[in-house]
Structure 1
Amino acid sequence: MVVWQERGARVVTVTGQLDVDNVAPLDETLRKAAQDGVAPVVVDLSAVTFADSTTVNVLLRAHTALGPALRLATPSAFLERLFALTGLDTVLPLHDSVAEAIDAEPSSPLGADGGDRET
């Protein structure tokens, strides 16, 4: 996991498999961002090859804690399918790129329901 600042946003890039054994650093980073009042927080998911229910729960808790400050960018094909199958694509704030996620207005509609992503 790599974390950096870009244009006022905290960007978190995660790679590989995210599961019960290794999702804790992402969870801690997102919890700390919520405690610190950091906004926005962009999670780049483009290189995630697998995620389990623990990862889904981490993202949902972060969404609850951060609200519109949490923005998920470039979900991998695996995650797009997972989010679509579970309906999370209508709940979680998905964006086509890190730049788009950084620039998104907090009040803009989120997820496939709101039209941020083309289907």
Structure 2
Amino acid sequence: MNFLIRLLVTALAAMVSSYVLPGVKINSFVTALILALVLAILNLLVKPILIILTLPATILTLGLFLFVINAIIILLAAKLVKGFAVDGFFWALIFSIVLTIVSGIMHSIAGSDND
């Protein structure tokens, strides 16, 4: 149940973020739900591999390279999800930051417990 709530909150946060950022376009809420699911799968499968492969760069930049990895994940999701478009790397980077902030605020408002 907690996973479904997290998906819904992430989808809503993606919709809010797409309204705020002109370089990101999401066609509908269903597309946002699919995007949230794809992002969850990519974060589960691809992100750990990218983190291990780029560990020296991540250590050298004191963890700031993780923002680049998040932007790559967003760009990969844009290729996989129809109806979701990002205009470039810069917009993917900004979208990942805004999505993290907005979903964090929404999760704190929703009061989801971390059992």
Q: TM-score range by the shorter chain?
A: under 0.3
Q: Give the TM-score normalised by structure 2.
A: 0.26
Query: Hey, which of these two has a bigger chunk of helix by percent?
Result: 2
Query: Hey, which of these two has a bigger chunk of strand by percent?
Result: 1
Greater RCO structure (CA 8 Å; 6+ sep): 2
Q: Give the TM-score normalised by structure 1.
A: 0.25
